[in-house]
């Protein structure tokens, strides 16, 4: 999973205006990087131009996904990521970057600004921080931990059964289950109930 670029763009009446951008071009060959960066800038601007105000969208381009959010105040942002990168994390990042940018940079500078004149240094930090979506986004981290817990529990149950023991034998030998619980288990097994899964 990788993020390749974040761009902040003003959606003008005739064309989009790049205000600030950050790129991670390390996966590409040295001599390809400038062309790839130009293509990412062009694609990001084109997407903002074609996206209506107040909209979010994801556009597939070859093996990449371009996630865009254009606010009602004509300020937009685009993240270019690989297809495996979680979409929800991209939109969280876009929201955060646009909110922070609009607080730090006066809207009067948006129509005429460019990467050299706009003073906003956080994009490179965000691009680096969000390379690992699990660390950058709390919800993704929690979900990943839950998924790992499910896998560990599943593996533990499988390893118990791999030793040649059957659940029926474990229930029969258990000192923690009373006669009534053992009888319930046997009846449920015969009726192909929930205990069949166990």
Domain boundaries, the chain: 3-131, 141-196
pLDDT of residue 104: 93
Q: How far apart are CA 187 and CA 112, in angstroms?
A: 77
What per-residue confidence (pLDDT) applies to 194?
A: 46
Q: Give the separation between CA 51 and CA 47, rounded to whole angstroms.
A: 6
pLDDT band at 139 (very low <50, low <70, confident <90, very high): low
Distance CA 45, CA 123 (A): 17
Q: What percent of the chain has pLDDT over 70?
A: 70
Judging by DSSP bridges, how do beta strands 16-23 and 55-61 pair with one another?
unpaired
Distance CA 111, CA 117 (A): 12
User: Identical fold at 3-131 and 141-196?
Assistant: no
Q: Say if CB 172 and CB 182 are below 8 A apart.
A: yes
Confidence of residue 83 (pLDDT cuts 50, 70, 90): confident
Question: What percentage of the chain exceeds 90 in pLDDT?
Answer: 24
More confident residue, 178 or 13: 13
Q: Span 23-42, mean pLDDT? A: 89
Report which of residues 143 and 41 the model is more confident about. 41
pLDDT band at 99 (very low <50, low <70, confident <90, very high): very high
Confidence category of residue 176, pLDDT binned at 50, 70, 90:
low
- Is the model's pLDDT at 153 over the cut of 80? no
Q: Does domain 3-131 have CATH number 1.10.8.870?
A: no
Counting every residue written for the chain, the total comes to 198
Put the strands of the sheet holding 3-11 in their side by side order: 16-23, 3-11, 75-82, 64-70, 55-61
- Lowest mean pLDDT across 40-44, 52-56, 193-197: 193-197
In CATH, 141-196 is 3.40.50.2300: no
> What Cα–Cα distance (Å) separates residue 108 from each residue in 30, 72, 73, 102, 121?
37, 15, 12, 11, 19
Of the two residues 61 and 123, the one the predictor is more confident about is 123
Band (pLDDT 50/70/90 cuts) for residue 50 is confident
Residue pair 118/20 in contact by the 8 Å Cβ criterion: yes
Question: Greater confidence, 42 or 178?
Answer: 42
């Amino acid at each position: 999973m990788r993020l390749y670029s974040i761009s902040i763009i003003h959606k003008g009446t005739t064309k989009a205006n790049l205000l600030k951008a950050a790129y991670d071009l390390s996966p590409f060959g040295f001599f390809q990087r400038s062309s790839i960066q130009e293509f990412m800038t062009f694609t990001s601007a084109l997407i903002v131009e074609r996206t209506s105000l107040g909209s979010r969208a994801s556009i597939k381009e070859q093996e990449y996904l371009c996630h865009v959010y254009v606010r009602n105040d004509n300020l937009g942002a685009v993240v270019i990521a690989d297809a495996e990168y979680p979409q929800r994390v991209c939109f969280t990042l876009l929201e955060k970057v646009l909110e922070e940018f609009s607080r730090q940079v006066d809207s009067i500078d948006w129509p005429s600004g460019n990467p050299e004149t706009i003073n906003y240094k956080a994009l490179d930090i965000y691009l680096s921080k969000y390379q690992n979506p699990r660390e950058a986004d709390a919800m993704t981290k929690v979900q990943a931990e839950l998924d790992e817990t499910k896998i560990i529990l599943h593996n533990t149950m499988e390893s118990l059964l791999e030793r040649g023991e059957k659940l029926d034998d474990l229930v029969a030998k258990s000192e923690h289950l009373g006669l009534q619980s053992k009888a319930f288990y046997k009846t449920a097994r015969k009726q192909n109930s929930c205990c069949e899964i166990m």
